[in-house]
Structure 1
């Protein structure tokens, strides 16, 4: 891993700031920041803001000084970059506004979830993914994405609330262990929601979280189909966004040797392509099936090179 820092030219809070980034690993970026005494509050999803008086200290500790364009290029290539709009939507305050619309009497739960989604080891499975999945769920349910002026969206009903909660919880525990993550996320949903919802609703949220283990809801499971499709919507992203998703996934498993990762990833892609329709709701099939299959096919071919 190499850490890069650009010049102190970004004005804020009465001083100038640099950006500090890694070309491969957020874990190692956080470790470097700890060594030079940077507060975690200075971290902004894909970089640290470094006050001008700390610039020389970062270079003395091993950061490579580069220009702003070169730093942006390195960050983009790493797969760790979060675009500006996505960064704004994924900030803790913005997410808590969304949570308060959904569960206004359970602020403490929202705070814990937002903290979990911002854990430093996450790259793809972080707050940007949460926002994207919530917005895609809204599209599938016929609601506008985002938060409409702090008020509940049109058609906001009990069933929609439960599918939204399932998205909030589906990767709330993420240690990179398949199935175990989903099971622990479902258990967390049960624990945190029991004081606020009827037992039947708590059970349904936990069940929907488990649907994301293998994305195989039953044919008559309409809520499960919505949650599964929203979680997999990234597969149909525009080619440049899909390429960034691929880099993010690789960065999340940076400790896995390349040959092992490529073999495992190829197996996952072949499984997705060979298991029938990727999406289970009609709107998702119409919107995303063709694009998702094209993205997966291109990625699989690249792994064979």
Structure 2
């Protein structure tokens, strides 16, 4: 394992910045940054931004100086690189555009929802998760128009997130009922959106529930990521529950994984099974094995 730093060349705030990364472990990177008294606010998803004046000191402390291309290759090879589609800050404008197409003239409501998805305690249930669900819906429908009620349910399904399973989904559904009724949507559509939001509590739509199956599959599409992407997801989930002691977290997370592995089907649509099922089963089994073998679900 090594800490790498590239040449300072990224201008901001009257100076230029370098990137500080690990080629293997975020834990190693955070430990190095803490020892060097780099503030937490300098961390940006997979690297620290450090000003030019700190470069020589960080090299003396053990960071390996490399060029930008070498650093980028090492970060990608490590599996720690966070792609743009998973960076909430980069997704604000695309999400606002999607909302305007979905519900024209209701920018204030869209802004409220984006503020909720951007709450500082969130690590996984951020705008990146919302963007991923919306993108997955498009993939499930082969870019045909997604039913508006389903897309609205995606926007509302984690709009309330306090970390309380069942209660969060219910509160999100109640928020959808209130806001969409105030926005002038027909009662039937409001009820359908709320029903779909509540369904994300257990991801078990009925066989004839096309909208529920679309939303359930899109919401669980993260389970079918490639291993590095799935590992980032598990780390984000752990960070959201940082207040929970490790032993309790492992027990609770293992119960969630057992429940997901017990779902038959896990994905309801044919397209969802084609896209995500094989990776999802493997990811879930591997994480559960790590949890039961010393609690290494958040392995770097």
Shorter-chain TM-score range = 0.7 to 0.9
Residue 165 of structure 2 corresponds to 178
Distance in 1 between residues matched to 2:218 and 2:62, nearest whole Å: 40
Residue 188 of structure 1 corresponds to 175
Distance in 1 between residues matched to 2:214 and 2:173, nearest whole Å: 17
Aligned residues: 268
Matched, 1:12 2:4: no
Q: How does 1:216-231 map to 2 (within 5 A)?
A: 216-231=204-219
Shift of 1:207: 0.8
CA displacement, residues 62-109 of structure 1 (integer Å, 9 cap, x when unaligned): xx996688x9999x99x8x74334327843222111211211211001
CA displacement, residues 206-234 of structure 1 (integer Å, 9 cap, x when unaligned): 11111100001111111011001100011
TM-score normalized with structure 1 length: 0.74
Residue 87 of structure 1 corresponds to 87
Gaps of 5+ in 2: 28-38, 294-300
Q: Which moved more, 1:284-293 or 1:105-114?
A: 284-293
Matched, 1:100 2:88: no
Q: How does 1:188-267 map to 2 (within 5 A)?
A: 188-196=175-183, 197-267=185-255
Q: How does 1:147-158 map to 2 (within 5 A)?
A: 155-156=144-145
- Per the alignment, in what secondary structure is the counterpart of residue 16 of structure 1? strand
Residue 124 of structure 1 corresponds to 124
TM-score normalized with structure 2 length: 0.75
Shift of 1:116: 1.1
RMSD: 3.6
Of residues 236, 260, 278, the one that matches 1:272 is 260
Residue 134 of structure 1 corresponds to 134
Residue 113 of structure 2 corresponds to 113
Distance in 1 between residues matched to 2:117 and 2:65, nearest whole Å: 28
Shift of 1:235: 0.7
Distance in 1 between residues matched to 2:132 and 2:287, nearest whole Å: 21
Gaps of 5+ in 1: 25-35, 144-154
Shift of 1:10: 4.6
Residue 166 of structure 1 corresponds to 153
CA displacement, residues 36-78 of structure 1 (integer Å, 9 cap, x when unaligned): 8x7xxx986677867779x79xx9xxxx996688x9999x99x
- The answer on whether the counterparts of 2:91 and 2:131 sit within 8 Å (CA) in structure 1 is no
Of residues 277, 285, 289, the one that matches 2:273 is 285
Distance in 2 between residues matched to 1:118 and 1:50, nearest whole Å: 24
